[in-house]
Amino acid sequence: MRWGRRAAATAPAETLPRTAVELRDVTHAYGDRTVLSSISLTLTEPRVGVIGGNGSGKSTFARLLNGLVLPSSGTVLVDGLDTRSRAREVRRRVGFVFQDPDAQIVHPTVAEDLAFGPTNQGVAPAEIDRRVDDVLVRYGLDGHRDHPAHLLSGGQKQLLAIAGVLVMRPERIVFDEPTTLLDLANTRRVARVIDELEQDVVVVTHHLDLLAGFDRVLVFEDGRVAADGSPAETVPWYVARIS
Ligand SMILES: Nc1ncnc2c1ncn2[C@@H]1O[C@H](COP(=O)(O)OP(=O)(O)OP(=O)(O)O)[C@@H](O)[C@H]1O
């Protein structure tokens, strides 16, 4: 059973299949500037953290995982699907939560915003209503159903952004610095929400304490993976390196 300690809180009726994301000799350049060099790795663990200094390539790496960014050379495969040629299927499998939830909120009310993704996917209206109700209750947003999404607090907006990805039922969710704009209380809340997700997650973060209990942490340095291992191995290595 893969969910371990999360099982009690959130075990789904049906267990999600695991995703495998594979990078084969991936390089990415913006114009003539190479920001990721020759990365080869496979992600199969439920909880993967990504850390490293500003500009080390973490966001670019995260965006490669669901085809938001395509490799300049090399290949990214999600469950064997090439992000270049199978973008639509890849996006269904791998959801993406942006650092700034305002970048993700597209509809005026909370409920309409949540319905947007599954409507695009062609999900039946009754099923959309069911999923939207479910996430509204789960994230304490039920009372805000018809409220303007842009009037939510920062923490509520981040929860809405996560909920907006969850209603599309991806198997893996990539978070790009999900707590950077949040105060301590909301950081803890979002950390708990991530911890309880049944989906596989990849979390890019500067908040190292979010990674306690993760299965694997990648440390980026100048567009390369400088360390790759458990949080107990990599986080102290990274802290020592920058001290
Ligand atoms: N769209 C873009 N066009 C050109 N250069 C970019 C673009 N996005 C990122 N870069 C550059 O690529 C490099 C890596 O950026 P990236 O955002 O992947 O790093 P990061 O590790 O996530 O940084 P941070 O921790 O500051 O968010 C940086 O030098 C950045 O300026």
% of the chain beyond a pLDDT of 70: 93
For atom 30 of ligand 1, which residue has the closest CA? 55
Q: What is the CATH number of the domain that holds 27?
A: 3.40.50.300
For atom 10 of ligand 1, which residue has the closest CA? 30
What is the span of the domain harbouring residue 164? 4-242
Q: Is the pLDDT of residue 212 over 80?
A: yes
Separation of 4 CA from ligand 1 center, angstroms? Answer: 35
**pLDDT (0 to 100) of residue 9:** 37
Instruction: Tell me the whole-structure pTM to 2 decimals.
Output: 0.90
What single string gives the DSSP state of each residue in 207-224? -GGGGTT-SEEEEEETTE
Separation of 60 CA from ligand 1 center, angstroms? Answer: 6
Separation of 61 CA from ligand 1 center, angstroms? Answer: 10
Q: In angstroms, rounded to a whole number, what is the distance separating the alpha carbons of residues 150 and 138?
A: 20
| Stronger pLDDT, 1 or 140, i.e. the higher one | 140
Separation of 30 CA from ligand 1 center, angstroms? Answer: 9
| Stronger pLDDT, 232 or 17, i.e. the higher one | 232
Atom of ligand 1 nearest to the CA of 63: 18
Q: Is 240 exposed, middle or buried (0-12, 13-18, 19+ CB in 10 A)?
A: exposed
Q: Of 30, 33, 221, 224, which is best to mutate to test ligand 1, by the most ligand atoms within 8 angstroms of its C-beta?
A: 30
What's the structural domain count of the chain? 1
Residues with CB under 6 A from ligand 1: 30, 35, 52, 54-60
Q: Of 56, 70, 205, which is best to mutate to test ligand 1, by the most ligand atoms within 8 angstroms of its C-beta?
A: 56
Q: In angstroms, rounded to a whole number, what is the distance separating the alpha carbons of residues 6 and 10?
A: 6
Encoded tokens for 12: 């789904």
Element (H, E) at 155: helix 154-166
Separation of 37 CA from ligand 1 center, angstroms? Answer: 14
Angle at 177 between CA 67 and CA 237, to 5 degrees: 105
pLDDT average, residue stretch 212-236:
96
At residue 158, the 3 state secondary structure works out as helix
Question: What spatial distance separates the first Cα and last Cα of the chain, rounded to whole Å?
Answer: 39
Q: What is the pLDDT of residues 176-192, one digit of tens each?
A: 999 888 888 888 888 98
For atom 9 of ligand 1, which residue has the closest CA? 60
Element (H, E) at 79: none
Does the predicted interface ipTM exceed a cut of 0.95? yes
